[in-house]
Structure formats: C-alpha cells, structure tokens
Amino acid sequence: MGKHLIIANWKMNLTIHEGSLLVHKLSELTQNHRTVDVVLAPGFLNLQSLNLQIDHSKFKLCAQNFYWRDAGAFTGEVSANQLRGLVSYALVGHSERRHIFGEAGREIGRKVQAAIRHDIKPVLCVGETAMERGDGETNDVLHDQLVAGLANVTSDDMKHVIIAYEPVWAIGSGNSATPDDVEKASAMIRRQIQHMFGAQVARDVQVLYGGSVSMDNARGYLDTKGVNGLLIGGASLHADQFASIIKTAHQSLSGKK
C-alpha cells in the first residue's frame, strides 16, 4: 500500500504573513508521518518564503497554476520553467481554472506536459458539473477530460502524474460526494487510464478526491477503495482542521482495504 497524498489548496486566500503563520501552526500540530505526503498549494507570492520556512521532510510545495510555455511575452503569467526546483507539484485544470478562466482540454494537456518536462508532478483535476451529473454524463466527462489532459503523455511519464477527482458541484459547496460516488469515479478513471496506458499504470496511479472534505468526512474517503488521498480547499485554511485530516490519513492506512 502506497502513502496517502494530502494537498492543501489555499486558492486566492491568505497574505504572505497569514500564510506563514498558518504553516507555523501546522508544523506545531503535525508529526512527520512516513505514511502521508503533505503538500501545500499557497498563492504564488507565498511560495518563495514558504520554501525557506518549511521543513522539507514534512511538507512539499505545489503551484495552483502556471502557463505551459517556458518563457516569452506572456504578461502576468508564470511558467513551469520558473517554478522548477521551487515546487514539487502543480495543480492542472482545477475546476475554477476551467470554469472561471475558460481553460480547456488542449491547454490543460499542454500544461500537464510542461509540468512533466520541468520535473513537477501535475495533479490533473477532473470532474463533472451538477448538470452533467444530472444528465448521467459523469463517465463521459471524465473520459473526455482524461483524454485531453493526458494527450501525448507516455506510460513512463504517468509515474509522475496524479489525478484528482473533484466533482464541480462538491467544491466549496458543503455538498460532498459520497464515498460510493468517489469509488465509482475512481474505478472509471482507472479504467480509462488502463485503456490509455495499460493495467500496471492504472493500478499505480494515485487518485485523490476533492470537494468539501472536512475533518468529519475525510476518513470515509481515505478508507475508500481506489482513493490515495485528498485535495482540500476550505478546511486547509484552518491549521487544526488540516492537521486533524493529516492524522486521519495516517490512521486510515492501517485499516485500508
């Protein structure tokens, strides 16, 4: 059984000072669990100072976004090339990027490739909207997002790719998916990955769940077959809640199916 991966997505929250304070509290509240990889995705401005502040054996850093080209006249953008060495992971295709900023399949695929090119593990976020779910299109949406997001990725590259199942209707809504929903989605994701890259890759790929995860419901997902960790927004902004989820992740591995 591999480790659990727990990612905190701070989104556009916290000043540099507040972020530093949160990590300070979190460090005090968490032990270094060999069974859990804890990853922080603060805003860009926090990355450099947190890189100096964190105990790297305890926390890794993640970018929330980046542009797929390496350099050039792209005002306001940050490239994977610039993030190289600073972050270990990067979110790609988060639903807020897809739905607020209009990111689409081809661009998301290019970002996955750019991250891999620069030794950054892409966390490819996929998930259906409430309407798509209502229309019974969840599997089609996951299929299309995986095909576009993983275009031109090799089986070997897949060692570095993480998939996060994040149903859009569950993000920030307090309306989380059931562990049963998540087990089905994870199985669908692995079937599609098997189709694209073979059975071994499908077995090995880490699949996370995200969408209104809290201290109270985290264990249910962590104990779910086919789930290797969590992507957490709101609850990651509170040191006590996030620390409790990390502890839960550590405890859940012993009883994992």
d(CA 59, CA 54): 7
Q: Is residue 179 within the footprint of ligand PEP (CB under 6 A)?
A: no
> Taking the complex as a whole, how short is the minimal distance between the CB of residue 235 and ligand PEP, in angstroms?
6
> Taking the complex as a whole, how short is the minimal distance between the CB of residue 100 and ligand PEP, in angstroms?
12
Q: Is residue 172 within the footprint of ligand PEP (CB under 6 A)?
A: yes
Which is nearer to ligand PEP, 114 or 232 (by Cβ)? 232
Which is nearer to ligand PEP, 109 or 234 (by Cβ)? 234
Which is nearer to ligand PEP, 146 or 232 (by Cβ)? 232
> Taking the complex as a whole, how short is the minimal distance between the CB of residue 167 and ligand PEP, in angstroms?
9
Q: Which residues are catalytic?
A: 94, 166
Which is nearer to ligand PEP, 61 or 201 (by Cβ)? 61
Structure-block tokens of residue 118:
């620069």
Q: Is residue 211 within the footprint of ligand PEP (CB under 6 A)?
A: yes
Q: Is residue 54 within the footprint of ligand PEP (CB under 6 A)?
A: no
Q: By the criterion CB under 6 A, which residues form the site for ligand PEP?
A: 9, 11, 94, 166, 171-172, 210-213, 231-234
